[in-house]
Chains A and B, each alone.
Chain A
Amino acid sequence: MTARALPSRRDEAWRYSDIDAVAAAWPLPAPEAIVVPAGGDFRRAIVQDEGAIRQIELVLGKGATASLHVLNIGGAYGRIELAVTLHEGADFHLGAAQIGGGEQNLEIVTTVTHAEPGATSRQVVRSVLGGTATGTYLGKVAVARDARQTDSEQDVKAMLLERSATANAKPELEIFADDVKCAHGCAIGELDAMSLYYLQSRGLPPAEAKKILLQAFVAGVFDGAEDEARLQELALAKLGELV
């Protein structure tokens, strides 16, 4: 990955990136490599609260499980890139939230390769964006020729607090096997005006009402996370800055 030339916007995976910030960080250090042995279980919570490009290569051996929770909130440009390879019967779960305002550019870019049969992957990503911030999710699920009975899901939603913010969401499937299930859904929207009014009619000031709705929007992604309480708290504090 690092041997490559500096990417440009013509590279699909860097299309929405802050290329100046990428150039400043280039060449990137080698990605962090994590190998979960057959039958192993790996869990981690990642909070990225300052500008950084973080690359992780994760390989799950036969029957291994991994659960990753990501909160991407910080810095002018924050990118988290995951390359996950699943061997037979492995299970990968990603719960991620990115919350940005001002001119922040936040990205979560994943490639999940189902290399062998019977593996499952589930990605849940929520973005909340205000100001002129940009939030991007590019998620590729690649199913290899023999990886029958793959079961993968991408559930991607973004909430724009102002019309000046941008959300990009691209679930991508590359399937070379039969008998697979690859679900993907994505939605970009705004806070529901009637819900907001209902909460305010009970006495909540607008900022508090928004915060409650956004908290509910984001909350589910951290269910069962290592350090769930801390992630929720940090997410809430960041949401408080945006409303």
Chain B
Amino acid sequence: MLKIENLHATVAEKPILKGLSLSINAGEIHAIMGPNGAGKSTLSYVLGGRPGYEVTDGSATFNGQDLLAMDPHERAAAGLFLGFQYPVEIPGVSNVQFLRESLNAQRKARGQEPLSGGDFLKLAREKAGLLKLDMDMLKRPVNVGFSGGEKKRNEMVQMGILDPKLAILDETDSGLDIDALRVVGDGINTIMRRPDKAVLLITHYQRLLDYVQPDFVHVLAAGRIVKSGGPELARELEEHGYAEIAA
């Protein structure tokens, strides 16, 4: 589904990713762990097409398409979802309005009919219920006045509504209390653990991986994947720290 080869990327002319390769198949959940500054968020933004994140070498294909040649909204329509580490507050723009327009823009790009207002609200209510987010919050301006945990749950509600093929979740677990972590973990499993979908979890901690069992764990250090393994690698990291494993 996603094939990254020898990816090099710079931010403000500073090299961050230095030859990263990674392959993710449908039905798989991958976790990327790594110390601060390793390039985890940069990887997610490069794959999400954020302006200012310059790819200098290498390639990334998504279901056979050249991902790096696509605009952010085209990546979304192709089925890529980026869960933000710091979801953005947008005063004056209601969640439901923007999500409905987003979903319908994606559907239009895929040649599908737009979803009616009634059908959309039904869908939104279902996903909000799944993440235990009050429907009233979805009617409020995007993330404005939301707590850290509510913002992350809102990201997952968005993921549920947009129904992507591949979700890249950048530290979705940070800022969550134990109960919210379970809710978010269950949400990820319900929405994304399917034979035709895949997830790339970016995280610092083992905690989230107790709820969302990864099939593969990778260690990212200094812009490259330095070690890959099964779920047991995450526990090893937790025990011994990055310094020892990544060395």
Contact = CB atoms under 8 A, between A and B. Distances in A.
Interface of A: 193-195, 197-206, 208-209, 212-213, 215-217, 219-220
Interface residues of B, number: 31
Interface of B: 48-51, 71-73, 75-77, 82, 84, 87-88, 90-93, 97-99, 101-103, 105-106, 109, 141-142, 158, 162
A49 B101 CA distance: 28
A203 B105 contact: yes
Contacts of A200: 71-73, 76
A216 B51 contact: no
A70 to B, nearest CB: 20
B92 A202 contact: no
Nearest to B78: A203
B93 A204 contact: no
Nearest to B103: A203
Most A CB contacts (10 A, CB to CB) among B77, B102, B106 go to B102
A206 B73 contact: yes
A208 B97 CA distance: 12
Main secondary structure of the interface of B (DSSP, over half): helix
A219 B92 contact: yes
B102 A204 contact: yes
Given A197-B50, A208-B101, A212-B101, A203 B109 contact: yes
Given A200-B76, A216-B91, 16 more contacts: A193-B51, A195-B90, A198-B84, A198-B87, A199-B102, A200-B71, A200-B72, A202-B73, A203-B77, A203-B106, A203-B162, A204-B101, A204-B105, A205-B105, A208-B101, A212-B97
